[in-house]
Structure 1
Amino acid sequence: MENIIMITGKVKYTITLDPSVWIFDDRRVDLNTYFSNEKENVNALEEYTKTVSKHWDREITEGAIYPPTLKTEKNFEKVKVMTGTFGIPFKPFLQNAEPADDARALVVQCSDKDYEFPLDEAYELILGFSKNGKPLSLDGPVHVYLGNGSNQENPIKDVTKFKVK
Structure 2
Amino acid sequence: MIVQLKGNVGFPITLDPSVWIFDDRKVEFDQAFNPTGGENVENNENDLEQASERWNREVYMQQKIKPPVNKSLSKAERKKALESTYVMSIKPFLANAEVKDNASNAILLTEQGDQTVTIEQLENGYFLFAVEGKPLKEDGPLYFYFGDGSNKDTPIRGVKQITIE
User: Which range, TM-score by smaller chain?
Assistant: 0.7 to 0.9
Q: Specify the alignment match of 2:160 in structure 1.
A: 160
Partner of 2:113: 113
Specify the alignment match of 1:33 in structure 2: 31
Shift of residue 46 of structure 1? 10
TM-score of the aligned structures, taking structure 2 as reference length = 0.77
- Paired residue secondary structure (1:43): helix
Report deviation, 1:154. Answer: 1.5
In the alignment, the residues of structure 2 paired with residue 101 and residue 82 of structure 1 have an alpha-carbon distance, to the nearest angstrom, of: 38
- Spell out, residue by residue over 1:13-56, the C-alpha distance to the aligned partner (whole angstroms, 9 max, x if none): 001000010011000000022201159585317999xxxxxxxx
Q: Distance in 2 between matches of 1:86 and 1:119?
A: 22
1:43 aligns with 2:55: yes
2:77 aligned counterpart, secondary structure: helix
Query: Take 2:148 and 2:121, find their aligned partners in 1: how far apart are those partners?
Result: 10
TM-score by length of 1: 0.77
TM-fit CA distance, 1:95: 1.3
SS in 1 for 2:33: coil
Taking only aligned residues, the RMSD between alpha carbons, in angstroms, comes to 2.3
Cα deviations across residues 75-113 of structure 1 (Å, max 9, x unaligned)? Answer: 221111110001110101111111122111111111112
Whether the 8 Å CA contact 2:21–2:133 is kept in 1: the answer is no
Per-residue CA deviation, residues 49-74 of structure 1 (Å, 9 max, x unaligned), is: xxxxxxxxxxxxxxxxxxxxxxxx82
Q: Distance in 2 between matches of 1:19 and 1:101?
A: 26
Q: Which residue of 2 is the match for residue 69 of structure 1?
A: none
Residue 7 of structure 2 aligns with an amino acid whose one-letter code is: G
1:52 matched residue in structure 2 = none
Match runs of 1:71-150 below 5 Å = 74-150=74-150
What's the CA shift string for 1:115-159, capped at 9, x where partnerless? 111112211110111001211001101111111111111211111
Query: What amino acid maps onto 2:30 in structure 1?
Result: N
Cα distance between partner residues in 1 of 2:90 and 2:31: 18
Identity %: 35
Q: Give the paired residue count.
A: 139
Distance 1:20 1:142 in 2: 10
**Alpha-carbon separation, structure 1, partners of 2:5 and 2:138:** 21
Any unmatched runs of 5+ in structure 1? 49-72
- Alignment correspondent of 1:60: none
